[in-house]
Structure 1
Amino acid sequence: MAPTETDRASLVTPEMREQYEKEGYFVLERVLTDEQLELLRGGAQYSIDKLDAAMDAAGVDTIGINHRGKRYFSNMIYEDRPELRSFLFSDTTAQICKATLGEDAYLFWEQYVIKAGDPDTAFAWHQDSGYVHEDHDPYVTIWIALDDVTLDNGPVHLLPYSRSGIKSYVKHITDPVTNDRVCYFGSDPGVPMTAPAGSIVVFSSVVMHRSGPNLTDRNRRVYIAQYSQEVINAKNDTAPAGSFEHFLDGGRIVAEV
């Protein structure tokens, strides 16, 4: 049974906080309410349609790391669908941010990651920080399963700190075929994050991770929200690299919903 908002008093346990510090991640299984899950699912198809339209307009089938009919990384959808703000700036995300970042937080990035049923939908080893630049403090990624995530449909695989030996930004190399940025070429397959719909995987932006291909005949839908302790500016610039909405100030939610 899905939880209700009244179940939120102790969403993140001390053990989870300790695991985040030692290994860079923890998992919250089946924590979204039915209403939250349906809210986030509601923007998934829109995120695909938006990128398909952009590819149509450009006359291409690839934009950056997006590949038509295969995988989509559609960001800042909440700007078009403001109803998503009720989750992005909710008590659920506030508790996660307090446990990982502290009493102050900004929304940094938001996106849908959707893999169609296709063997070419794998995503290479990287750190989320590898898609920004080296000059920022690690931020937190909230990775939300909108469908049951199995070994067959492309789960994210994490490389915990104890297995990578890395807790900071490392240089990435761009794959010329997929445009993926790659930071690990070792043999460790990582820990697969298989989880039922409504579960959240919380991990640091410097945790190395990858995802396998979706070998089923159905889309694998994930929603991602990322938060930082301060505004992250673009490299060699004073303009923000992503969003800059103030979420938590001294532990209090200050963002408008």
Structure 2
Amino acid sequence: MSSDQALGRAAAAKEMPATKVPTGSIIESARAEYEETGFCVLPNIIPDDLLSLLRDECQGFIDRKHAEMDAAGTDSVGISHRGRRYFVERTLQQSTKMAEFLFSPLMAGICRDILGPDAWLFYDQYVVKGADPNSRFAWHQDSGYVAANGGDPKHKPYLTCWCTLDDVTEENGTVYMLPYDKAGTRDLVEHQKDPEMNDWVGYHGDEPGTMVIAPAGSIALFSSMTFHRSGPNLTNNMRRVYLAQYSAEPIKKVNSDELWGQSIPFLRDGVNVAGGA
């Protein structure tokens, strides 16, 4: 499905007039921290109804993964493994209900404050970790994955909204952020593939990073140029996170006008053109 088709389905699911998005949704101290370090955490910011929606949709996607596995007589589909980890990409193209969160006033305000008056939905994905001592991810920049997979390395930094569906702790594999001053750069660094884990890795130093400890319903905001990693889930419960990523411009493939990512219009001149779904 194309980006336009996905947007059309989302708009048809819940038609609302375009709305002007004010600035000031994020407290000034958090926005300043984002600018200085590359990340900030907004605790308990997702309303209960949207948190319930994200959880319900997550379970629905996991159930569908299990059905695929059962039909194929296997415990793995792609990079999803039964009970260990689940990845569901481009959820809006599979469920128009996701528009209620992705284009909500909450996300519009966050994008307006961080990216400015223009924003596009770039990418979205559930990342669910089950009990698995090997479920860590190495130090990387999200833009490093784009560049390593055919995206234009000269793109503007985009915004990742790391939304917690459960309390995140050291024990269940939370994310660690590396502030700009510790990383020594705000720019894209060339990444190398780890032959053992197949992760793209861009930082090899000794800094441990800043651990994000936050309750369910929180959002960690970080730049696509911010190095981050995550630990393994050593608990018996799932650790569910939803990633919503937005860009200040359409991101294209290297040396091409072809889009890399979804590039679904969200804000234009400070107006929520996705309909305020």
Q: TM-score, normalised by structure 1?
A: 0.90
Distance of 1:174 and 1:58 partners within structure 2: 31
Say if 2:69 and 2:76, in contact at 8 Å, map to a contact too.
no
Q: Which amino acid aligns with 1:212?
A: G
Q: CA deviation at 1:225?
A: 0.3
- Tell whether 2:105 aligns with 1:105: no
Distance of 2:58 and 2:180 partners within structure 1: 32
The residue that corresponds to 1:3 in the other structure is: none
Distance of 1:58 and 1:128 partners within structure 2: 34
- Tell whether 2:67 aligns with 1:48: no
Q: CA deviation at 1:9?
A: 8.4
Say if 2:189 and 2:202, in contact at 8 Å, map to a contact too.
yes
**In structure 2, do the counterparts of structure 1 residues 167 and 85 end up closer, same or farther at CA, with 3 Å as the change threshold?**
same
Q: CA deviation at 1:44?
A: 1.2
The residue that corresponds to 1:86 in the other structure is: 100
Question: Using CA pairs below 8 Å that are at least 6 residues apart, which structure has the higher relative contact order?
Answer: 2
- Aligned partner (choices 168, 179, 183) of residue 164 of structure 1: 183
- Aligned partner (choices 152, 162, 170) of residue 151 of structure 1: 170
The residue that corresponds to 1:247 in the other structure is: 266
- Show CA shifts across 1:151-185 (max 9, x none): 10001000011211110111111122322111111
The residue that corresponds to 1:33 in the other structure is: 47
RMSD: 2.1
Q: Which amino acid aligns with 1:18?
A: A
> Percent of counterpart pairs with the same letter?
45
**In structure 2, do the counterparts of structure 1 residues 58 and 126 end up closer, same or farther at CA, with 3 Å as the change threshold?**
farther
Q: Which amino acid aligns with 1:132?
A: V
The residue that corresponds to 2:90 in the other structure is: 76
The residue that corresponds to 2:231 in the other structure is: 212
The residue that corresponds to 2:222 in the other structure is: 203
Structure 1 alignment gaps of length 5 or more: 1-7
Q: Which amino acid aligns with 1:86?
A: E
> Could you say what secondary structure the match of 2:122 adopts?
strand
**In structure 2, do the counterparts of structure 1 residues 188 and 252 end up closer, same or farther at CA, with 3 Å as the change threshold?**
same
**In structure 2, do the counterparts of structure 1 residues 57 and 132 end up closer, same or farther at CA, with 3 Å as the change threshold?**
farther
Q: CA deviation at 1:51?
A: 4.8
Q: Single out whichever of 52-61 and 210-219 deviates more from structure 2.
A: 52-61
- Tell whether 2:30 aligns with 1:16: yes
Q: CA deviation at 1:42?
A: 1.2
Distance of 1:170 and 1:220 partners within structure 2: 29
The residue that corresponds to 1:190 in the other structure is: 209
Say if 2:44 and 2:216, in contact at 8 Å, map to a contact too.
yes
Q: Single out whichever of 124-133 and 39-48 deviates more from structure 2.
A: 39-48
Which aligned pairs between 1:57-76 and structure 2 lie closer than 5 A? 61=76, 63=78, 66-76=80-90
* Deviation >6 Å, runs of 4+: none
Q: Single out whichever of 186-195 and 174-183 deviates more from structure 2.
A: 174-183
The residue that corresponds to 1:235 in the other structure is: 254
Distance of 2:207 and 2:63 partners within structure 1: 36
**In structure 2, do the counterparts of structure 1 residues 226 and 217 end up closer, same or farther at CA, with 3 Å as the change threshold?**
same
Distance of 1:183 and 1:145 partners within structure 2: 25
Distance of 2:103 and 2:265 partners within structure 1: 10
Q: TM-score, normalised by structure 2?
A: 0.84
Q: Which amino acid aligns with 1:12?
A: I
- Aligned partner (choices 136, 141, 145) of residue 122 of structure 1: 136
Say if 2:251 and 2:260, in contact at 8 Å, map to a contact too.
yes
Structure 2 alignment gaps of length 5 or more: 1-21, 148-152
